[in-house]
Amino acid sequence: MRNEAERAAASDLGQTRRGLILTALATGACLASSGSAIAQEDSPGSNERPQKADVLVYSDGDRAGEVIKPADLKAGGPPSRAWPKDPKTSVVRKGSRLNEILVVKLDAALLDEETRARSVDGVVAYSAICVHTGCPITGWVRAASGDRDVFKCFCHNSEYDPRQSAQVVFGPAPRRLPALPLAEQDGALTVAAAFVGKVGAQPGR
Ligand code: FES
């Protein structure tokens, strides 16, 4: 007959075994899910630049993966981050960080002619990668001069005005952000044409 100490040791062993099994199951699930993420990122086309007729999906937040509709965006910002997605293969083109996009809805009356031509209902889209040295652009702040909110890269404080083709309005960035012309299909935002301009920082800068 087992004494108290033996029963306690047996119970600890049982709990340890259950813990190991649960850990193994969790690790397996984790590996399976990271495997599917890797598979998605390795899918053909996942690192191609946005293509005409791609839809745009949220890249982060509660709605990550959902198609972006102009009607869902709040006028005046802040911008949403997005990936292009091939509607035929359902591949999200997140295999390259250079494919991330900023989407923001603005007062259409404030857009310059070039910007308006690329917009849908005041919604405009640009590369989310700063062209100075390639940091992600994460800020939507009041401009250093003037009273408008603008995109801001906090690495070296460059600011870009999305109403004026994302021209540089402050800081060291050498050129404007590449614009992504938009269209609308069945209420969803789609890509009308490739990026206008080279995405990311260019060698030698
Ligand atoms: S990388 Fe954005 S300002 Fe330098």
Ramachandran region of residue 200, left (φ > 0), alpha (ψ -120 to 50) or beta? left
- H helix or E strand, kind and range, residue 149: strand 149-153
Nearest CA to ligand 1 atom 3: 156
Q: Give dist(CA 80, CA 105) in Å, integer.
A: 9
156 in ligand 1 pocket by Cβ < 6 Å? yes
Quickly name the fold that domain 55-191 has: Rieske Iron-sulfur Protein (2.102.10)
Tell me the domain boundaries of the chain. 1-42, 55-191
Residues with Cβ < 8 Å from 33, sequence gap 6 or more? none
Question: Is residue 78 reached through a cis peptide bond, with omega within 30 degrees of 0 on the bond before it?
Answer: yes
Q: Give dist(CA 205, CA 195) in Å, integer.
A: 20
- H helix or E strand, kind and range, residue 7: helix 4-42
Q: Give dist(CA 35, CA 42) in Å, integer.
A: 10
Distance 150 CA to ligand 1 centre (A): 14
Digits of tens for pLDDT over the chain (205 positions)? 444 444 544 444 344 444 333 333 333 333 333 444 444 556 889 999 999 999 999 999 999 999 999 999 999 999 999 999 999 999 999 999 999 999 999 999 999 999 999 999 999 999 999 999 999 999 999 999 989 999 999 999 999 999 999 999 999 999 999 999 999 999 999 999 999 999 999 765 5
Distance 172 CA to ligand 1 centre (A): 7
Task: Identify residue 11 by its one-letter amino acid code.
Answer: S
102 strand-pairing partners: 81, 126
152 in ligand 1 pocket by Cβ < 6 Å? no
Q: Please give the model's pTM, rounded to 2 decimal places.
A: 0.80
171 in ligand 1 pocket by Cβ < 6 Å? yes
Of 97, 151, 158, the residue with max ligand 1 atoms within 8 A of its CB, to mutate for a pocket test, comes to 158
Of 102, 127, 132, the residue with max ligand 1 atoms within 8 A of its CB, to mutate for a pocket test, comes to 132
